[in-house]
Structure 1
């Protein structure tokens, strides 16, 4: 057991969460070589699209991928691989992805980021990424990864909705596999893509934000009320219309992100709805978070399944895994805030995307809740047969040209293995994993993620 893992486990013991809840994944010695290679390309490409190269390397490594498979993925994702056809057509020509971009040098002399000014440059329209990356590289060396997270992540977590949740995914997945190179990139991306959702001081004259409370409504009941509220469909339409105006189009963040940004406008009903309706119920400081975390993982998995693997809701699931990987490094209050910011972002994403299959998700969650009440509520452990099944289903995704497929199955597998959740939760994870690995009618690996919209 390495020092990082000992720190994680001891931290969980201190806050009352069973040691088995979190475990460092089994990753190969060569994974860090690949993740370091990720710096050969910029964190974004095509203006605002997020680089997923390293994320899928982690999922492939967990599936036991060899050197050739890891190299194959690099070639596919960077749009260099070709098939055997006479016209030399790229293998991934069906993808929207263009060639990944080389690391950038700023065209102007951008201000160096320091502890004095780092807060003043958040949301710096991406031009400050390299400066922030250099800053966090140095801070990780100076403080160590865990102390760096404890100091900087709580502030950055308020803006985790930026860039369709990809910055927090990059950060949390890096922390999980102990990659300092990737973690510094993720923190820098969180800083420059920083996007709060109605939590800033400019909302104080309206409905104030309360991220979490022990006295908030039951999470399942609150979610049902939010998603079946008559105003929700109107908010979806209003966000769409507003995102098409010139001020939002000039942001050049992509259609989805521009719709999400409308939820931070204090004069619009989207922001007011979040602050009136969305408060995450969490136990008091010092009390065990396990039951709440289990419920959030089930909500994320049920939302992915019921939405027919809707693209941005998949991001909600993979970003929750990222947030959970960060929690051991935060104090009690920052942990709750991190979960509160994530839940708020998930609700906003679901509304922005038109609340796909809301009723189906609610039915799944109600059935899960009923099973929990009848059976053993925690400590479900996988037998050897199930462990083999999870590995095989992850391995079945490694030829996918859509990296979201192995990434999603990898997260579901990790949650299934944590051993503090119930069998009812495990069955939701397994159901979602089966669904996302079902080939569509073409059987094509380039599009075997079932997009609902």
Structure 2
């Protein structure tokens, strides 16, 4: 990853002058996309991509009233307070090591993973990845504060609790999940159907429970792989929103190394529940025909996603490259899932 040119930090500073959402509720994908672009050798494209993307973004919302250690709970899940949340978390990462701040807030925010269609946790995952791997420059630490603040403002629990207790693999459990009755709805309306969807909870809880932190990490990787593979065949249910069934658990996986190990198993449980929920709300019933794309390297796949330009396509390609890196010979299905997204999602003009 090229962090010597300053491109990533410059891009993050540009984006921190914009709000976390636009057009009412759409998430600002800029920080996530530019981190992925830089990581995969596309630094030269970042500012041109941002020039186009920032045209649609909005200003930072006005602050309401300051938050502190005595009153933050009353503002949890209040999107009107997002700027208050960012300021509060920015003070915390200025006063304490960012890992300590993350360890404090992760268990508080994790139950609200469904907020803003899981975009906040995905943004946190990108921020943590660069902090762990590339250094702790000020714009990167500030990005973590922005990501955590967005999550706090959009904190939304899933409407059903999932307690894995079976023997199924994540791939088998995803395949067994029933779909909600009406998939032509906004995210929260789709998730609200889960408690009344016959057989959903049993299928979600059929996945095996991990025994220890390392097993939780390995099973979370299996969730990411299974959700990425499933997109290849069933991504046409909702090509954009189903991306998050893979990218949200991958964000949690990326964050685990920065967290205390006792948080790994609970993190798996919540990430699995989110992936299962999104699969039932947005996955199609019938599989697509096989994708005939020819053999491409991971780098070539990501270059195609960069040319395509859509932030969701870029982020799914980023996750697919993670999955492909976990096996010596790569993972053709994961890379093909990224290419499927380029077919299903409209490219940026």
TM-score range, shorter chain: 0.7 to 0.9
Correspondent of 2:164 among 207, 212, 217: 212
Shift of 1:226: 2.3
Q: Does residue 432 in structure 1 map to residue 344 in structure 2?
A: no
1:145 aligns with 2:98: yes
Residue aligning to 2:309: 401
Greater CA radius of gyration, 1 or 2?
1
* Secondary structure at the counterpart of residue 78 of structure 1: helix
Q: Unaligned regions of 5+ residues in structure 1, if any?
A: 1-24, 80-98, 200-208, 241-254, 364-385, 448-453
CA distance in 2, matches of 1:410, 1:286: 25
Alpha-carbon deviation of 1:197? 1.2
* Conserved 8 A contact 1:158-1:338: no
- Identify which of 154, 157, 171 aligns with 1:193: 154
Q: Cα deviations across residues 262-299 of structure 1 (Å, max 9, x unaligned)?
A: 258xxx514x8654442342321255335413321221
Deviation (angstroms), 1:130:
0.8
Decide which of 167, 175, 188 is 2:120's aligned counterpart.
167
> Is the Cα–Cα contact under 8 Å of residues 212 and 282 in structure 1 kept in the other structure?
yes
- 269 and 439 in structure 1: CA distance in 2 versus 1, 3 angstrom threshold: closer
Match of 1:121 in 2: 75
1:38 and 2:15 equivalent? Answer: yes
Question: Any conservation in 1 of the 2:181–2:193 contact (CA below 8 Å)?
Answer: no
Corresponding position of 1:323:
252
Aligned residues: 334
- Say if 1:76 and 1:401, in contact at 8 Å, map to a contact too: no
Q: Distance in 2 between matches of 1:318 and 1:210?
A: 19
- 1:413 is aligned to 2:315: no
Q: 2:264 pairs with 313, 319, 335, which one?
A: 335
Which of 44, 50, 71 pairs up with 2:27?
A: 50
1:281 match: secondary structure: coil
CA distance in 1, matches of 2:50, 2:2: 21
SS in 1 for 2:16: helix
1:222 maps to 2:173: yes
| Deviation per residue, 1:123-165 (Å, 9 max, x gap) | 11x1111111111111112221211111111221111111111
Q: Is the 8 A contact 1:198 1:274 kept in 2?
A: no
Asked if 2 retains the 8 angstrom alpha-carbon contact of 1:167 and 1:186, the reply is yes
Question: In the alignment, what sits opposite 2:134?
Answer: none
Confirm or deny that 1:236 pairs with 2:160: no
Q: Deviations over 1:31-86 (max 9, x none)?
A: 1221122111100011111111122212221233345x22211111123xxxxxxx
1:344 equivalent to 2:270? Answer no
> What TM-score comes out, normalization by structure 2 length?
0.84
Which residue does 1:256 correspond to in 2?
186
For residue 446 of structure 1, give the secondary structure of its aligned residue in structure 2.
coil
Residues 152 and 263 of structure 1, relative CA distance in 2, 3 Å threshold:
farther
* Matching of residue 184 in structure 1 with residue 137 in structure 2: no
Evaluate the alpha carbon distance shift between residue 66 and residue 291 of structure 1 in structure 2; reply closer, same or farther with a 3 A threshold: closer
Superposed CA RMSD in Å reads 3.0
Change (3 A) 1:402 1:210: closer
User: Cα 1:49–1:263, aligned 2, differ >3 Å: closer, same or farther?
Assistant: same
Q: What secondary structure does 1:303 align onto?
A: helix
| Distance (Å, rounded) in 2 between the aligned partners of 1:59 and 1:313 | 19
Mapped partners of 2:28, 2:265: distance in 1: 28
Matched residue, 1:298: 225
